Amino acid sequence: MEKVLQTNIRNARKLLHNKVFTPTDLLNACLDRVKETQHLNAFITLTTKEALLASTQSNEIYQKSNDRNELDGIPIAIKDNFCTAGIKTTCASKILENFTPTYNATVYKRLCEAGAVLIGKTNLDQFAMGSGTVDSIYGSTKNSWGFKNTEDFCIAGGSSGGSAVAVATGTCYGAIGSDTGGSTRNPASYCGVVGLKPTYGLVSRLGLIPLVNSMDVPGILTRYVDDAAILLNAIAGHDPDDSTTLTKPYKSIRLPSAKQLSVKGLKIGIPVEYACENLDPEVLETWNDIAAMLENSGAAVKQVSLPHTEFSIVCYSILNQCEVASNMARYDGIEFGYRADENESTEKLYSKTRSVGFNEVVRNRILTGNYFLLTRNYEKYFNQALKVRRLIADDFYNVWEDVQVLLTPTTLSTAPKYKDFVQKTNRDQCAMQDFCTQPANMAGIPAVSIPIKLSKTGLPISLQIMGRKLSEPMILALAKFIENAVQFRKQ
Ligand code: GLN
């Protein structure tokens, strides 16, 4: 069974089809694996009861008919900032510690319709604000790579660290994360799995508890590129209940087989700005090696420039905090979530609820965001940042005249040790961690992180591919080509 838990979705389905085991057997193997890896703290809530019910339904489907959905009986996990009806959805925060939504996020609804079996809700940085999964009221998630003990471990990356570890350790075949500035790709990079951030608006945000509405997108974490395409096919497409989703009908992606894959003539850009000061030499070397490998395989690789990259982090940070300030206003202790024991005045109730219910990171972002939004500052900060955002997006539009895709590092280094990571503030960490990932969110373009090799210290090194809007078929095909060439999972 150990091997089955490391295989891809297509193979798992074949084994289910051939009745080598039932969906419930598969689920139980996954749940055993969850127990074995409990010390890594990937899950906030296990949905064992619901999973057993769903897998029993799948058992019948595999018994009786050949008419099955793409994900029938396949165990998956979802980040705990997606609403799941009747199942707690906490955002790893005190304020939503006991919050049980009454409706399902569209992403979860579609996964259920495709037959997937939810095994649990995964850990994150509070309200997805972070890049380490170290700021959760349930404690930090630990990376399985380089793990020595619960004192000495590497961070999982974040904010979807729980989802990345769940996939990396074989507790499920895929997991949903969210990606506002890199939260799917960053942990994917550190945990050695595939992390896809789709085009903004391709996947519904309904029921994804908002961080930055203009950048949020549900992300996908899997061990194989093919599996990312299968999950994307299940969740993508217009949602009448999310007016920001694209109305153009979604066409399912069928990636070429490994043998048919080719990069001949593909124009790949290497943006010089991403070779920044803090880039680890081993990551740089890996980046150069893969560019050379692609060139040798027939691609046209050339250096390009995205001149506004250096302003991206500051601009992202301002816009992020402004949208956070407005999004967090709904948590007032009145309608839902935690309410402080305070009845002197409504104002006092608000203030106590919010100062106790949010951690320091969230409180800081609310304060700073409101400062930027003050009448006297609005022009200077918020509006200015919107203009710079346009310039950053334009950099990408201009570069597509020259190349079809971009190849960059995903993160500047391998996963940092927890004790080093927490020396810096959340803001300083985000400035470092999101450097390569957040520009794609500012421009709304798709990006995928793909593991390449292990560093000298035995930690995953990953690269990122970005493409123009709706170029998922192209960037995933290139990711699959690289996956096939480097054989990371065999390393
Ligand atoms: N690290 C970034 C932030 O804290 C990204 C978060 C995300 O993508 N959810 O804003």
Please list the pLDDT of the chain residue by residue as tens digits (491 residues): 888 999 999 999 999 999 999 999 999 999 999 999 999 999 999 999 999 999 999 999 999 877 788 899 999 999 999 999 999 999 999 999 999 999 999 999 999 999 999 999 999 999 999 999 999 999 999 999 999 999 999 999 999 999 999 999 999 999 999 999 999 999 999 999 999 999 999 999 999 999 999 999 999 999 999 999 999 999 999 999 999 999 999 999 999 999 999 999 999 999 999 999 999 999 999 999 999 999 999 999 999 999 999 999 999 999 999 999 999 999 999 988 999 999 899 999 999 999 999 999 999 999 999 999 999 999 999 999 999 999 999 999 999 999 999 999 999 999 999 999 999 999 999 989 999 999 999 999 999 999 999 999 999 999 999 999 999 999 999 999 999 999 999 88
Q: Say how far residue 408 (Cα) sits from the centre of its chain.
A: 17
Please tell me the residue having the least CA distance from ligand 1 atom 10. Answer: 129
CA of 285 to the centre of ligand 1 (A): 27
Extract the tokens encoding 74: 């396949």
| Options 140, 144, 159, 204, the catalytic residue | 159
Please tell me the residue having the least CA distance from ligand 1 atom 5. Answer: 181
Integer angstrom CA distances of residue 306 from 35, 300, 315, 400, 410? 46, 18, 15, 11, 16
| Options 55, 79, 144, 471, the catalytic residue | 79
CA of 40 to the centre of ligand 1 (A): 21
The amino acid present at 79, given as its one-letter code, is: K
At 64 the pLDDT is 87
User: Rounded distance, CA 136 to CA 359, Å?
Assistant: 9
Q: Is the CB of 178 under 6 A from ligand 1?
A: yes
User: Rounded distance, CA 91 to CA 82, Å?
Assistant: 8
Q: Is the CB of 179 under 6 A from ligand 1?
A: yes
| Options 140, 163, 183, 189, the catalytic residue | 183
CA of 330 to the centre of ligand 1 (A): 20
131, 220, 436, 437: residue to mutate for ligand 1 pocket, most atoms within 8 A of CB: 131
Domains and CATH numbers, the chain: 2-264+408-486 (3.90.1300.10)
At 307 the pLDDT is 98
At 1 the pLDDT is 86
At 491 the pLDDT is 81
Q: Is the CB of 92 under 6 A from ligand 1?
A: no
Upper half-sphere CA count for residue 201 (Cβ side, 13 Å): 14
The answer for residues whose C-beta is within 8 angstroms of residue 25's C-beta and 6 or more apart is: none
The amino acid present at 392, given as its one-letter code, is: I
Q: Is 183 a catalytic residue?
A: yes
Atom of ligand 1 nearest to the CA of 180: 8
CA of 431 to the centre of ligand 1 (A): 10
Q: Where are the extended beta strands (E) located within 96-142?
A: 117-122
Q: Is 159 a catalytic residue?
A: yes
Extract the tokens encoding 403: 């190349």
At 335 the pLDDT is 87
Please tell me the pTM assigned to this model: 0.98
Q: Is the CB of 129 under 6 A from ligand 1?
A: yes
215, 322, 438, 464: residue to mutate for ligand 1 pocket, most atoms within 8 A of CB: 438
At 65 the pLDDT is 75
Tell me which H or E stretch contains 231. helix 225-235
Upper half-sphere CA count for residue 474 (Cβ side, 13 Å): 21
